[in-house]
Structure 1
Amino acid sequence: MSNYQKTTEAISKLTPEQYRITQEAATEPAFRNRYWDNHEQGLYVDIVSGEPLFASIDKFDSGSGWPSFTVPVDPDNIVEKRDRSWGMVRTEVRSKHGDSHLGHLFDDGPREQGGLRYCINSAAMRFIPLAELEAAGYGDFAHLFTTEEAAR
């Protein structure tokens, strides 16, 4: 897959929660979302455009109750914007092609892995298990999960 884009059809298939989060920049409840405690190997993609966002090998338990990652799979698929909502200044994370609100970026991640924490809403993503990458059109990302890469 390489033609990632936001379409009316994709938007029409979103649940009300997915719509609020991706299109209206809402936040889902901590510890009560689909992927915060997912430990399966695989790829997380934008629920709207399908663009690859994060790999499970870069996911860690931040204790926040949301899926947290140290680095995106492809930084070109991530857009960072200044967010001044809620009386604070944060960095909003959006998908480039889907223009989906994903979550926020913080500087309190694991220091040994660069110190970043991409705190992402589960409802903004679709998880593709490692065994299904090829069939789903994401076979090019299977190399991320080889023994050598997964050990990093």
Structure 2
Amino acid sequence: MTERKTAARVVVAGAVYGGGRLLAARRSAPPELAGRWELPGGKVEPGEREEDALVRELREELGIETVPVARVPGAWPLPRGHELRVWTVRLVSGEPRPLQDHDALRWVTASEAAPDGQGPAPDPVDWLEADRPAVRAVLALLGPALTG
């Protein structure tokens, strides 16, 4: 009998940016992730397009309407057989609020967002380990758009 390899379950995240800043969301659950920061998003449901899942998740989690612009090159492994894919996102309407799975939001500059203390900011973001390489890719792509 041949073992069949199953595909990773996709989790999409949005690099929501504007005004020279990137939106970071602080997890409130589950307990092992609470207090750490991530790019907001969630799981793609079976039969759902990544872009549609991202719009739905950002509406549910943050109360905003968005349009995915472009996929950030790369995909990053997450625990339990999931894979993270990130999209740049344009905010269409609404003011982001932490409605679900988050207890705080923060607009950050590139220097504040730099993972691993690479930036000169006095208050860097404590990203979830799994999000750090994705954030690096976002910063490489959006660098000039994130000033400060």
Give TM-score, length-normalised by structure 1. Answer: 0.30
Return the TM-score normalized by structure 2.
Answer: 0.31
Structure of greater relative contact order (alpha carbons < 8 Å, 6+ residues apart): 2
